[in-house]
Amino acid sequence: MSLNPMTPAWKSTPSGKVRARGLGLPLEGKCGPCNAITDVAGVSVGYSTLIEGDGVLKQGAGPVRTGVTAILPRPRETIHEPLFAGFFSLNGNGELSGTHYIEETGKMALPITITNTHSCGIARDATIRWAVDWLAERYHDDFALPVAAETYDGFLNDINGFHVEARHVLDAIDAAHGGPIEEGSVGGGTGMKCFGFKAGSGTSSRLVGYEDEEFTVGVFVQANFGTRRHLSVLGRNIGTDPDLPPMVTNTKDTELSSIIAIIATDAPFLPHQLKRLARRASFGIGRTGGMATHGSGDLFLAFSTAASDLGGGAIRTVRFIPDEDIDPFFEAVVQATEEAILNSMIANQTMVGRDGNLVPALPHEAVKRVLGLEG
């Protein structure tokens, strides 16, 4: 199904899947034209989605429900140029590579990749291979410490079959584009779930005015967390509401759950300020009912595209928004994180994976009834 050109991108995905705003949810804040992380100029997103086989798990053979997401923070021709960045771990039962370098220098470069837990290493290594091939002169005798992150998809996927290969990572990077992007069971989010419902990849953005300029804050999540009884939408706990259908018997909540949040902005911020922005993703997750359980890897990265020429060789001058004026950007992160999570669930479908394990889609009409959005 293709996107109706008359339907705004903030209502539907390119394949026509309805998003939270298309469902009628009165979410806070003003979003960008695509309501996506790609509303930040120069940022692009690509996917490689692997869905193969059905039935009983045969390790190494499937069923396969996984993939890779690539987020390029700069256009390809300048992808090697460092950006200011900040990292925050709400709960550290997970992996996001490159954080030691980010903590030390406040900078990062190259594509960001997100995949399943047991493919995080190959995503990192393949990204370095891509950089060496794409930027041979830059990296022929230099090092690269790219960001690669993961969440666990073993309930639906043959995670120990190691189906993600370097070529899939390269495909995701090469497929990256701006504009409207797909959500739901695509890329690294293919085998993920939230609050007992199908989830995965989701995104949203907010526009923030400061003095006489308008800046964009975009959030992308790979959502794979939460217990159904905690699910909240627009401030209302709906996970136990009788209007929602009962849990499917072979669908279980698991503590092997996580969320990765990538926050992009074109607003000029310093590394310590970006760490503060990353920390605020916690509140967007909390609005939906997440609480960073013991087994959850809740890891957040924020970067700014505003500054360039951050390398050595000369004294550099950068501008930044003062800490005293940062609150509207905090609010933007909270709002966009909440909406990105909801989009990852709403723009989705029921999926059956290994051993017949089933994760149902969040039922749209039931959600509308519970929230009083009918009619």
In the annotation, is 258 catalytic? yes
- Whether residue 300 has pLDDT greater than 50: yes
Rounded to an integer, what is the distance from CA 50 to the centroid of its chain? 18
According to the model, what pLDDT value does residue 142 have? 76
CA distance 346 to 363: 8
How do residues 227-246 score in pLDDT, each as one tens digit? 999 999 999 999 888 877 77
How do residues 24-55 score in pLDDT, each as one tens digit? 999 999 999 999 999 999 999 999 999 999 99
CA distance 258 to 203: 16
- What integer is the mean pLDDT of 9-18? 95
Q: What is the 3-state secondary structure (H, E, C) of the chain?
A: CCCCCCCCCCCECCCCCECCCCCCCCCCCCCCCCCCHHHCCCCEEEEEEEEECCCCCECCCECEEEEEEEEECCCHHHCCCCEEEEEEEEEECCCECCHHHHHHHCEECCCEEEEEHHHHHHHHHHHHHHHHHHCHHHHCCCCCCCCEEEECCCCCCCHHHCCCCHHHHHHHHHCCECCCCCCECCHHHCCCEECCEECCEEEEEEEEEECCEEEEEEEEEEEECCCHHHCEECCEECCCCCCCCCCCCCCCCCCCCEEEEEEEECCCCCHHHHHHHHHCHHHHHHHHCCCCCCCCEEEEEEEECCCCCCCCCCCCCCCCCCHHHCHHHHHHHHHHHHHHHHHHHHCCCCEECHHHCEECCCCHHHHHHHHCCCC
According to the model, what pLDDT value does residue 125 have? 98
12, 204, 257, 258: the catalytic one is: 258
| CB of 95 closer than 8 Å to CB of 120 | yes
- Whether residue 255 has pLDDT greater than 60: no
- Whether residue 194 has pLDDT greater than 70: yes
In a domain, 17, yes or no: no
- What integer is the mean pLDDT of 158-172? 98
| CB of 53 closer than 8 Å to CB of 243 | no
In a domain, 21, yes or no: no
How do residues 332-351 score in pLDDT, each as one tens digit? 999 999 999 999 999 999 99
Query: Range of 174's domain?
Result: 37-371
φ/ψ of 109, rounded to 5, equals -155, 170
User: How many separate domains does the chain show?
Assistant: 1
| CB of 72 closer than 8 Å to CB of 134 | no
In a domain, 46, yes or no: yes
According to the model, what pLDDT value does residue 143 have? 84
Overall residue count recorded for the chain in this entry: 375
According to the model, what pLDDT value does residue 140 have? 63
- What integer is the mean pLDDT of 158-178? 98
**Which residue has better confidence, 366 or 66?**
66
In the annotation, is 257 catalytic? no
Q: What angle do CA 234, 235, 241 make, to 5 degrees?
A: 90
| CB of 224 closer than 8 Å to CB of 194 | yes
- Whether residue 123 has pLDDT greater than 80: yes
- Whether residue 134 has pLDDT greater than 90: no
* Residue 301's CATH number: 3.60.70.12
According to the model, what pLDDT value does residue 247 have? 63
Tokens of 136: 């041979």
CA distance 41 to 85: 17
- Whether residue 253 has pLDDT greater than 60: no
In a domain, 20, yes or no: no
- Whether residue 2 has pLDDT greater than 50: no
Q: How confident is the model at residue 299 (pLDDT cuts 50, 70, 90)?
A: very high
- Whether residue 75 has pLDDT greater than 90: yes
According to the model, what pLDDT value does residue 1 have? 32
According to the model, what pLDDT value does residue 107 have? 97
In a domain, 22, yes or no: no
In a domain, 80, yes or no: yes
Q: How confident is the model at residue 188 (pLDDT cuts 50, 70, 90)?
A: very high
In a domain, 316, yes or no: yes
44, 185, 204, 296: the catalytic one is: 296
In a domain, 293, yes or no: yes
- What integer is the mean pLDDT of 355-367? 94
According to the model, what pLDDT value does residue 325 have? 98
CA distance 170 to 286: 34
Minimal CA–CA distance to 284: which of 206, 182, 368?
A: 206
Q: What is the mean pLDDT of the chain?
A: 93
According to the model, what pLDDT value does residue 256 have? 61
Q: What's the chain's Rg over C-alpha atoms?
A: 19
| CB of 40 closer than 8 Å to CB of 216 | yes
Q: What is this structure's pTM?
A: 0.96
| 246 CB burial (10 A radius; 0-12, 13-18, 19+) | exposed
CB atoms under 10 Å from CB of 24, counted, come to: 14
- What percent of the chain clears pLDDT 90, i.e. is strictly above it? 86
